[in-house]
């Protein structure tokens, strides 16, 4: 079998802001077709990890490879969904304009947007049920609709690896369901997804793999191996007691498995 | 002090005579006003969209030391020297504002206030020490005198005279701004709207920012002789916010700049003829008046539409409760 480089490989990554360390010695290899949830407490460096992967933040040490190449050479293979609050929603652009920005990586800096680009953007809006809003100014949208626009833009990038920063933050239930379906669909099509997520209680049903982060990499692996009281405690420290239902959820599941084991 | 604020309005003397009696200088003044508004409006749209209107104000003041130092070195109003001085001062202003904001606890708005007042003061000091007896007077820097533009020496290119040099310069800068915006439209759009996406697409975010600031500084220095550093800020901001009450997409906002520029320059010139006042001042008064009209009548967030919308909304709610009961 030919050795295909993994979508994402991170080696000994260390990042600090103004000499304050944010990430230390992170080592991960993410396999093709993974749907990974990145969880950890506030200030654990989740967004920093995403930004470092995309070359937005420069690491102090270590390296990131995307499909075996440095980020610069793999730009068109990576789709990005930034945090919704990171942009000014009063900016004078329409929904369609924003989705078309997803095509700029393919079109190059100078070439004009082609008919095909518009068609793809339009299809992507259709997928998130935002086609009727194409001509709207983005400021008139609800939080969930704004997030759908960002997802449509990421879809329009037609990438193989998607990095999403808190796509579930502040969206309505219908949008949440739509996003989960979209993530599943992308995974089915062999895409790799790395999603920063703030809500531990829903992480288990949304993702297949977890990346537990608290400045260091606590654990990375399949949900069964990583969603354990031990590792979650290690990630969140004492703060997990606040999320006692989540702890119970994790503990209850492992008890259940232990009970179930002898029968097998 | 004259007796009446509004002189009697005479259509002929306000609108017709200036064009009949002295077509050339009238045309040149209006053309200069048009170029100023055009260049400022195009760059101003990006400045406003990036929420940098205050930085535009800051740069317009900080150019003074750049111009003054260029003046000291060349001891003339040498155009290249002034443009270089302005570009350096413009970049220095943005760099200093960011440096103070990042490396200290001073908030960005306070940082802007610190930087531009200090640089402006340095300019005032330089002028008062070395340039006291030279013609670079403070009034002209602050308010400009667009009416004197036709009297300036001509710009000669080869054998052809391109008219007074401030007009030729302003026209060239306006053309440069338009070309730059068209060529780098996508980079400007994405870096203005979403820095994260821009970086992830490998766009040169910092180069785009400083490029825009240099274009802004060049535009202001070319315009300041005509309208001064204070009124030039109005020309940066008014077109973007006025058209913004009618359209909400950047390309359309940009297309709105030329017609507004015509309105400002013609309107300002004739208002000044009628009231016998500063032409640059009258242009900004026209810009302000058109802004108020747009604010009242514009379909996108204008007051009139908000009123009619909220009253129809109340009507809807009433009908819903009626259905409910």
A155 min Cα distance to partner chain B (Å): 13
Which of A54, A92, A104 has the CB atom closest to B186's CB atom?
A104
Query: How many domains does chain B contain in total?
Result: 1
Nearest CA in chain A to B253: A92
Sheet of strand A8-17: strand arrangement: A20-30, A8-17, A61-66
Nearest CA in chain A to B250: A92
Q: Does this model's pTM top 0.90?
A: no
Kindly list the residues from chain A whose CB atom is less than 8 angstroms away from the CB atom of residue B301. none
Q: Closest by alpha carbon to A26, among A75, A61, A71, A73? A: A61
In a domain, B313, yes or no: no
How many Cβ pairs closer than 8 A exist between chain A and B?
69
In a domain, B320, yes or no: no
pLDDT number for residue A146: 92
CATH architecture of the domain with residue range A8-227: 3-Layer(aba) Sandwich (3.40)
Grade residue B117 by pLDDT with cuts at 50, 70 and 90. very high
pLDDT number for residue A240: 57
**Helical packing angle, B205-243 and B79-103, nearest 10°:** 100
A4 min Cα distance to partner chain B (Å): 24
Pairing of strands A35-39, A8-17: unpaired
Q: What is the mean pLDDT of residues B204-225?
A: 88
Q: Closest by alpha carbon to A30, among A167, A204, A157, A187? A: A187
pLDDT number for residue B144: 77
Average pLDDT, chain B: 84
Q: Which has more confidence, B135 or B83?
A: B83
pLDDT number for residue A249: 60
pLDDT at residue B321 greater than cutoff 70: no
d(CA A259, CA A238) in angstroms, rounded, equals 28
In a domain, B316, yes or no: no
Nearest CA in chain B to A96: B249
Tell me how far apart the terminal alpha carbons of chain B are, to the nearest angstrom: 69
Strand partners of residue B253:
none
Nearest CA in chain A to B205: A56
Cα A169 to the chain's mean position, in Å?
Answer: 12
Q: Where are the beta strands (DSSP E) in A112-240?
A: 161-165, 192-196, 209-214, 216-222
Name residues 248-287 of chain B within 8 A of A (Cβ): 248-250, 253
Q: Which residues of chain A have pLDDT under 70?
A: 1-2, 107-111, 238-264
Cα B79 to the chain's mean position, in Å?
Answer: 20
Grade residue B320 by pLDDT with cuts at 50, 70 and 90. very low
Q: Closest by alpha carbon to A197, among A71, A88, A81? A: A81
pLDDT per residue over B25-46, tens digit each?
899 999 999 999 999 999 999 9
pLDDT number for residue A111: 67
pLDDT number for residue A14: 92
The set of residues, in sequence order, having a beta carbon less than 8 Å from that of B264 and lying 6+ positions away, is: B33, B37, B235, B238, B283, B286, B287, B290
d(CA B4, CA B8) in angstroms, rounded, equals 9
The set of residues, in sequence order, having a beta carbon less than 8 Å from that of A257 and lying 6+ positions away, is: none
Compute the half-sphere exposure of residue B136: CA atoms within 13 Å on the CB side of its CA.
25
Nearest CA in chain B to A86: B194
Angle at the Cα of A126 from the Cα atoms of A124 and A127, rounded to 5 degrees: 65
In a domain, B6, yes or no: no
Q: Is the Cβ–Cβ distance between A168 and A199 less than 8 Å? A: yes
pLDDT number for residue A132: 93
Whole-Å CA distances, B248 to A132, B177, B298: 17, 21, 11
Name residues 78-117 of chain A within 8 A of B (Cβ): 78, 80, 82, 86-88, 91-94, 97-98, 101, 104-105, 109-110
d(CA A196, CA A203) in angstroms, rounded, equals 10
The helix, strand and coil proportions of chain B, stated in percent and rounded to the nearest 5, come to 80, 5, 20
d(CA A101, CA B196) in angstroms, rounded, equals 12
Which of A91, A93, A101 has the CB atom closest to B197's CB atom?
A101
Grade residue B203 by pLDDT with cuts at 50, 70 and 90. confident
pLDDT at residue B325 greater than cutoff 50: no
Name residues 118-147 of chain B within 8 A of A (Cβ): none
- Rg (C-alpha) for chain A, rounded Å, is 19
Name residues 69-108 of chain B within 8 A of A (Cβ): none
In a domain, B325, yes or no: no
Which of A72, A91, A94 has the CB atom closest to B202's CB atom?
A72
Q: What share of chain B has pLDDT > 70, as a percent?
A: 89
d(CA A53, CA A69) in angstroms, rounded, equals 12
Which of B49, B189, B196 has the CB atom closest to A56's CB atom?
B196
pLDDT number for residue B130: 78
Strand partners of residue A219:
A212
pLDDT number for residue A238: 65
d(CA A70, CA A77) in angstroms, rounded, equals 12
pLDDT number for residue B2: 65
pLDDT at residue B304 greater than cutoff 60: yes
pLDDT at residue B260 greater than cutoff 70: yes
Kindly list the residues from chain B whose CB atom is less than 8 angstroms away from the CB atom of residue A51. 196
- Mark yes or no for CB contact A75/B51 under 8 Å: no
Q: Where are the alpha helices (DSSP H) in B184-245?
A: 185-193, 195-200, 205-243
In a domain, B20, yes or no: yes
pLDDT number for residue A264: 36
Owner of token pair 């940066």: B236
d(CA B283, CA A41) in angstroms, rounded, equals 56
- Provide the CATH number for the domain around residue B66: 1.10.3470.10
Token pair listed for A107: 């079109």
- Mark yes or no for CB contact B194/A51 under 8 Å: no
In three-state secondary structure terms, A165 is strand
- Mark yes or no for CB contact A92/B201 under 8 Å: no
- Mark yes or no for CB contact B193/A88 under 8 Å: yes
- Mark yes or no for CB contact A56/B203 under 8 Å: no
Burial status of residue B62 (CB atoms within 10 A of its CB: 0-12, 13-18, 19 or more): buried
The set of residues, in sequence order, having a beta carbon less than 8 Å from that of B168 and lying 6+ positions away, is: B155, B157, B162
Kindly list the residues from chain A whose CB atom is less than 8 angstroms away from the CB atom of residue B192. 91
- Rg (C-alpha) for chain B, rounded Å, is 22
pLDDT number for residue B319: 42
Domain boundaries, chain A: 8-227
pLDDT number for residue B270: 93
d(CA A194, CA A78) in angstroms, rounded, equals 11
* Mutate which: A53, A79, A89, A92, vs B, most B CBs within 10 A: A92
Give residue B146's domain range: 11-308
């Amino acid at each position: 079998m030919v050795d295909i480089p993994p979508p994402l490989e991170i080696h000994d990554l260390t990042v600090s802001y103004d000499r304050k360390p944010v990430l230390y010695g992170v080592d991960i290899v993410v396999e093709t077709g993974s749907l990974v949830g990145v969880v950890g407490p506030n200030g654990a460096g989740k967004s920093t990890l995403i930004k470092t992967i995309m070359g937005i933040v420069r690491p102090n040490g270590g390296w990131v490879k995307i499909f075996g190449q440095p980020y610069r050479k793999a730009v068109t293979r990576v789709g990005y969904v930034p945090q919704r609050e990171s942009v000014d929603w009063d900016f004078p652009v329409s929904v369609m304009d924003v989705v078309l920005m997803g095509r700029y990586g393919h079109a190059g800096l100078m070439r004009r947007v082609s008919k095909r680009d518009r068609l793809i953007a339009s299809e992507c809006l259709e997928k998130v049920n935002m086609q009727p809003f194409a001509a709207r100014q983005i400021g008139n949208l609800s939080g969930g609709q704004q997030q759908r626009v960002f997802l449509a833009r990421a879809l329009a990038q037609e990438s193989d690896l998607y990095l999403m920063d808190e796509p579930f933050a502040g969206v309505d239930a219908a949008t949440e369901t739509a996003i989960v379906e979209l993530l599943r669909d992308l995974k089915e099509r062999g895409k790799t997804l790395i999603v920063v997520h703030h809500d531990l209680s829903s992480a288990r049903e949304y993702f297949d793999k977890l990346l537990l982060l608290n400045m260091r990499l606590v654990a990375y692996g399949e949900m069964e191996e990583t969603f354990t009281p031990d590792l979650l405690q290690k990630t969140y420290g004492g703060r997990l007691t606040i999320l006692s239902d989540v702890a119970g959820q994790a503990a209850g599941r492992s008890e259940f498995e232990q009970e179930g084991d002898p029968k097998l | 002090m004259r007796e009446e604020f509004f002189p009697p309005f005479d259509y002929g003397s306000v609108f017709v005579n200036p064009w009949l009696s002295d077509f050339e200088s009238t045309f040149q003044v209006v053309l200069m006003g048009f170029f100023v508004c055009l260049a400022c409006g195009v760059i101003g749209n990006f400045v406003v969209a990036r929420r940098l209107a205050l930085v535009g104000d800051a740069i317009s003041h900080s150019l003074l030391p750049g111009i003054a130092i260029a003046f000291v070195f060349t001891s003339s109003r040498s155009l290249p020297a002034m443009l270089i001085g302005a570009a350096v001062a413009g970049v220095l202003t943005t760099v200093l504002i960011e440096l103070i904001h990042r490396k200290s606890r001073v908030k960005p708005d306070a940082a802007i206030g610190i930087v531009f007042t200090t640089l402006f003061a340095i300019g005032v000091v330089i002028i008062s020490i070395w340039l006291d007896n030279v013609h670079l007077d403070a009034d002209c820097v602050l308010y400009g005198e667009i009416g004197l533009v036709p009297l300036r020496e001509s710009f000669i290119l080869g054998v052809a005279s391109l008219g007074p040099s401030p007009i030729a310069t302003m026209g060239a800068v306006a053309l440069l701004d338009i070309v730059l915006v068209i060529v780098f439209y996508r980079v400007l759009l994405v870096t203005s709207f979403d820095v994260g996406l821009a970086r992830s697409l490998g766009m040169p975010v910092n180069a785009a920012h400083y490029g825009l600031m240099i274009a802004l500084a060049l535009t202001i220095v070319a315009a300041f002789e005509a309208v001064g550093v204070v009124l030039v800020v109005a020309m940066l901001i008014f077109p973007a916010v006025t058209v913004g009450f009618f359209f909400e997409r950047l390309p359309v906002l940009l297309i709105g700049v030329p017609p507004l520029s015509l309105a400002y320059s013609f309107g300002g010139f004739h208002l000044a003829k009628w009231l016998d006042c500063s032409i640059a001042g009258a242009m900004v008064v026209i810009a302000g008046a058109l802004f108020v009209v747009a604010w009242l009548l514009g379909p996108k967030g204008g007051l009139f539409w908000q009123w009619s919308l909220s009253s129809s909304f109340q009507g809807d709610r009433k009908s819903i409760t009626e259905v409910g009961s």
